[in-house]
Amino acid sequence: MEQNQNNWLHTNWILTEGAQRVYIELKFTLRDCNSLPGGVGTCKETFNMYYYETDGDDEEMEEGEMRDGVGITEEEDRAMKESRYIKVDTIAADESFTELDLGDRVMKLNTEVRDLGPLSRKGFYLAFQDLGACIALVSVRVFYKRCPFLVKSLAEFPDTIPGSEASQLVEVAGHCINNSMPLYEPPRMHCSADGEWLVPIGNCEDEYHKMDSDPPNMACTRPPSAPRNAMSNVNETSVFLEWSIPMETGGRKDVRYNILCSRVLPDGRGLEECGPNVRFLPRRVGLSNTSVMVADLQSHTNYSFLLEAVNGVSEMAKDYTKQYVTLNVTTNQAAPSPVSVVRKGYTGKSSIGLSWAEPDRPNGIILEYEIKYFEKEQDSSYTIIKSKETEMVVEGLKASSVYIFQVRARTSAGYGAFSRRFEFQTSPYLTATSERAQASIIAVAITLALVLLAVVAGFLLSGRRCGYSKAKQDPEEEKMHFHNGHIKFPGVRTYIDPLTYEDPNQAVHEFAQEIDVSFISIERIIGAGEFGEVCCGPLRLPGKREIQVAIKTLKAGYTEQQRRDFLWEASIMGQFNHPNIIRLEGV
């Protein structure tokens, strides 16, 4: 082998195509220097690789210079070319072959990969320098990596060449595919130096469309989401359905609603569409309002209702999944019974406190109460408020005004009927002087009541002493007789103590007239006590003119003792007949 070997091999000009980093794959064989006769000292087992960047083909430029008459010698040309090249690396073989391998036809092929970058010119040359190696360069492959075209989360990302640095990530903006729009923020991804897509940000939503009638400057829109807060109210064989608008309208104002009615088969294993006899008021499809009445259903039957929201582009969305909410109901499901009594508590100039008991038959868990009220004689303009408790204070009322109140309860089956009307009045505007005067009147009334009770008690006690102290009686006193609690005065009606009757009903039948309940109408409550209420209403007795009377009633849940006290009080009142004492019309 000759001494001082310096052999060069260079490629043609290679276009980078915009790549800032390229890779060179070399496949070669190399002979072991020890297997070469006379190779010691002159044989090498490595070779060098160089590159040279340019914006054009230097061979064409040099040929032009020769044609212009500017000539250079071969040695000068070689030296000039070698000085331009930048060394990439010294390449060594992992495996080398020997003479024995040649005899066995065994090829030990080596593969090495090196990268160049950052590159800034349009192209480059590669050169390989041999300083005495027995080498065969089988192939040279020059390539660059790129992030290929990608569709991810309904967004398209173009074919992208990575950056010049090995650790650099190139941010690439994506574009939503047809009929889709960015969700929250535009889609982005990052292209790595290894040609992989990393770190996705944002995504797109599909099924965005535009109607031909939409203005040119109007953005693309999509179908709406499902209706919200759907509720049902069953009334025998009718169902009232109501709901709220969807959370997402799709960017349109032409949202409409369709109702699909299905009957659950008796075995519970399937559904069949409701027949033509079922009526939808105002209609079944294309509803613009958020409620519908479904009538003429079968009694004691399970039904399933699908409430679907649509808009102008719903039909254009071929792959669109319908957005709906389902309501399951059973016809003739019992709603709560009406609230029986509404009581008035605190009363102010602009507010009234109300309280009531649960319905006698709640038929489930009471979810809330609905209070309807309006000013008397103005029932066309009413207000409805709701409460989860059995009491509340109604505010914002007019002073010294009469209001009508009604209450009803709601369970999962729907609303019950409203209670009967209860009439309450707010307090008038009072000055400090009038308030003191009112307090004085109340105090005087209480004092007179106490005096009256003391006088009655005195009569009773005197009568008892007369019955057991006959020796001390005056001649006039002998005219009084006491027997079994009965005090008899000459020329005066006899008072009978109702406590002497074992059964208070007997005393009531003896001293009071029994009145059929159909002759009485309760219009409003004017007072309340511990176990009863005082109401106001007309009394219409046959053959007599109608009169306004005060009606005392027992509250629901009264005890037996309270009932007896109530009847004894009626027995006492029934024995008085004086213009200065309230007259008992009947029980």
Residues in contact with 158: Cβ distance below 8 Å, sequence separation at least 6, in sequence order: 149, 172
Listed in sequence order, the DSSP H helices in 1-41 are none
SS3 at position 364: coil
How far separated are the first and last CA of the chain, in Å rounded?
143
Rounded Cα gap, residues 69 and 413, in angstroms: 107
CA distances from 206 to 31, 174, 202, 216 (A): 63, 15, 14, 20
Q: Show the tokens assigned to 126.
A: 């590669």
Three-state SS annotation for 43-103: CECEEEEEEEEECCCHHHHHHHHHHCCCCCCHHHHHHHHHHHCEEEEEEECCCCECHHHHH
Q: How many residues does the chain have?
A: 587
Distance between CA 235 and CA 290 in Å, rounded? 19
SS3 annotation, 516-576: CHHHECCCEEEEECCCEEEEEEEECCCCCCCEEEEEEEECCCCCHHHHHHHHHHHHHHCCC
Buried residues in 434-468 as b, exposed as e (16+ CB within 10 A): eeeeeeeeeeeeeeeeeeeeeeeeeeeeebeebbe
* DSSP sequence for 431-452: -HHHHHHHHHHHHHHHHHHHHH
58 closest CA partner among 151, 131, 122 = 122
**544 has binding-site annotation:** no
Query: Which residues sit opposite 486 in a β-bridge?
Result: 483, 496
The residues, any chain, with a CB within 8 Å of residue 41's CB and separated by 6 or more, are: none
CA dihedral defined by 451, 453, 454, 459, rounded to 10 degrees?
130
Sign of the dihedral through C-alpha 254, 259, 260, 264: positive
> Crossing angle of helices 504-511/560-573, nearest 10°?
20
**Binding site, residues?**
552
**Which residue positions form the known binding site for ATP?**
552
